[in-house]
Structure 1
């Protein structure tokens, strides 16, 4: 090897070296079709010119004990090596076909920074997310490990494209960072999930799912009203209106659902239904809702985009009480869960909404995955899902229960809605939550 070539090779970044290794003879990346969900995300990425609409941006604060950031960097790299989704890029052929490309090696981008406070750490994470992702070249995972102003304060700042990662994957990453000793459990590869999904769709359960969702979305209500007309393509600039509710209200909503043999999710969905029925002027409400996509054996260890966005159709509110809404929501949820493996992107429905998903303008998120306390090297973990200034849907209502009550936000497309409109909707949602709690206590 010439000195000039050796110098050029030494100057390559880890990501560039991984691409070079993948191109060498004998390095054969695996390829395969993307899932319907991945294909939609790939299309959206290009519709919005690479803006971070579908990018996970999380700030993990570590406090109360010093942590070894070198060890955390090693864990992140090992996690990437173990999970093929994080070594995946997306190639496009001449005819426009998109393929998953799984590389033998594709290290994540891991950097070290120093942050004086929380605001600076969040700014670093947002810069990581805002930098356009190269879907064909990768890597699609970026992590900044930030030293804080004191030895017992640090941050793990994560920006990763949804094409290879979802909320469950984030919990698996945190589990790996918190792992104390011994080897990590061998994960199931994402490619196995893709093959299983394709087989399921061709089988009787897949056909039954297609028929169920087509019927469930028939004669669906019109999308919710907006302050300005919808247009394509959408830029998806967004903002959030945050809200909180005390533990007394959260406990009452959960307890009222439990009395109806329903989950807390159904209780909060009933509150969202009441708010959106008022907002849209009809009791017939069609919402998108997220399911983990991990209802088959072995999928609980899979890192990747398994998240599924499915409809929940809410129609018969009975007398309009919170109790009646919970019962109706429980019935709709249970019926839909039997077909939860069916990709929402494949649902054959007349309803078509301009934007990032053909079926949904409004989505409800209920996330209690991170409700339990977690520690990394003795440090307490606090996570924050950061506002990237984008909107995945016209409206997204997110509810995060915790020991001190509920934190949440309403994310909205600023091209469609004025802040004042969404603030009124958020205030009405919290007011209806208080009313539901009062009803439950009577």
Structure 2
């Protein structure tokens, strides 16, 4: 501290000192407590015997320009240094309590390999994810930097446990790899989010959230029918049925939503509702939906598992038209948006699903985080979320919009569903989307 600053501080009165302390950021001790979402993931990890149910597995294809894989390795290491979540392990005490342990240093598992083609790269990423993660020792981030058969082709293969990482975190990692300057992006520790979330839950907004979601899930419909009974002992072996839809259909769904002052997400959720309502035999449908968990100031720079899975209750479809469904979805999601910070694991609902989530059996995913074109060292970036042969929920319907239309998949638990059943559901979803486009043309 220089003399001038010391003199000025010494001259401050008690009230001025108090105001200064209040304005300065406080370094709070980290209790190591897990968020409700993390606690569920920890329990699932042990329930499925370490299989990669809650593991992010992404293949990042870099094409069109040579890249310096050594520099990318440095960026990965720097990213881990900057974000405490990636230097975290989990320990269990004698009474069964789980806590986070943040290490000053915990290097990621980083390797260099060669891949002859896309299939070989994807297979290598799958092996990274399939090897069981030791939550007590870590590291929980694995990255393989793969040279391709030519100078203008390479891959960054990422496998990381969801306990310390989510889809938004992946985008922050890509931002770091693409950064041109030597100065790292600003970051905020995950522990501060845990503290703030706990404080928020104890306050009036937390209580309002609890009341909202309890009312929203009251007398909720039964879970969707399955080909085999739910017994809660599933290993979550899964499979995906992929589908694509042309840009004309994607544009029509987005345009139909825009006419009702709604987003493309709302339009696609309305299509999903129609498909699941037919499948379950009831308009009253309860689906899970993901929120980023980053709606409070400062959380946009936090790496970790902030993702929140919340229910959306869809009941009154009016005439059953797509327009009426969009309006109903818009109303339900806007009401829920006010309480999106409330952890889905804490919702007090009478319905319980035997499986890996206490409330939800079917989930809708709309992911447009990577829709914008991105380049790393001049190379074009293409990301692929890889099928790990697992199922996080009984059914997960994912929609990924892009410049050429929509790619997506319907993931299912093979212990509960036959492939033919799920294929019919996927075909019905795409048929309903085509119907929206046909009605728009008329």
TM range (shorter): over 0.9
Match of 2:388 in 1: 388
**Preserved contact between residue 30 and residue 101 of structure 1 (Cα < 8 Å):** no
**Preserved contact between residue 31 and residue 102 of structure 1 (Cα < 8 Å):** no
Match of 1:259 in 2: 259
SS of structure 1 residue aligned to 2:53? helix
**Whole-angstrom CA distance in 2 between matches of 1:334 and 1:217:** 16
1:173-192 aligned at under 5 Å gives the runs 173-192=173-192
Match of 1:250 in 2: 250
**Whole-angstrom CA distance in 1 between matches of 2:351 and 2:175:** 40
**Whole-angstrom CA distance in 2 between matches of 1:253 and 1:232:** 37
**Whole-angstrom CA distance in 2 between matches of 1:42 and 1:438:** 46
The structural deviation recorded for 1:184 is 1.4
Count of residue pairs the alignment pairs up: 414
The structural deviation recorded for 1:185 is 2.0
Match of 1:282 in 2: 282
**Whole-angstrom CA distance in 2 between matches of 1:271 and 1:290:** 17
**Preserved contact between residue 176 and residue 185 of structure 2 (Cα < 8 Å):** no
Moved over 3 A (4+): none
The structural deviation recorded for 1:372 is 0.3
| Corresponding position: 1:96 with 2:103 | no
SS of structure 2 residue aligned to 1:294? coil
**Whole-angstrom CA distance in 2 between matches of 1:130 and 1:216:** 37
Long gaps (5+) in structure 1 = 1-28
**Whole-angstrom CA distance in 2 between matches of 1:440 and 1:267:** 13
Deviations 1:231-266 (A, max 9, x none): 122100000000000000000000010010000000
**Whole-angstrom CA distance in 1 between matches of 2:190 and 2:32:** 11
Deviations 1:197-216 (A, max 9, x none): 00000000000000000000
| Corresponding position: 1:297 with 2:293 | no
The structural deviation recorded for 1:31 is 4.9
**Preserved contact between residue 163 and residue 304 of structure 1 (Cα < 8 Å):** yes
Q: TM-score, normalised by structure 2?
A: 0.93
**Whole-angstrom CA distance in 1 between matches of 2:270 and 2:65:** 41
**Preserved contact between residue 109 and residue 143 of structure 1 (Cα < 8 Å):** yes
SS of structure 2 residue aligned to 1:255? helix
| Corresponding position: 1:74 with 2:74 | yes
**Whole-angstrom CA distance in 2 between matches of 1:321 and 1:353:** 30
Match of 2:405 in 1: 405
After superposition, the Cα gap between the structure-2 partners of 1:218 and 1:30, relative to the gap in structure 1 and judged at 3 Å, is: closer
CA RMSD of the aligned region, Å?
Answer: 0.8
Deviations 1:69-127 (A, max 9, x none): 00000000000000000000000000000001010010100000000000000010000
**Preserved contact between residue 266 and residue 326 of structure 2 (Cα < 8 Å):** yes
Match of 1:307 in 2: 307
**Preserved contact between residue 294 and residue 300 of structure 1 (Cα < 8 Å):** yes
The structural deviation recorded for 1:182 is 3.4
**Whole-angstrom CA distance in 1 between matches of 2:412 and 2:307:** 21
**Preserved contact between residue 125 and residue 158 of structure 1 (Cα < 8 Å):** yes
The structural deviation recorded for 1:409 is 0.2
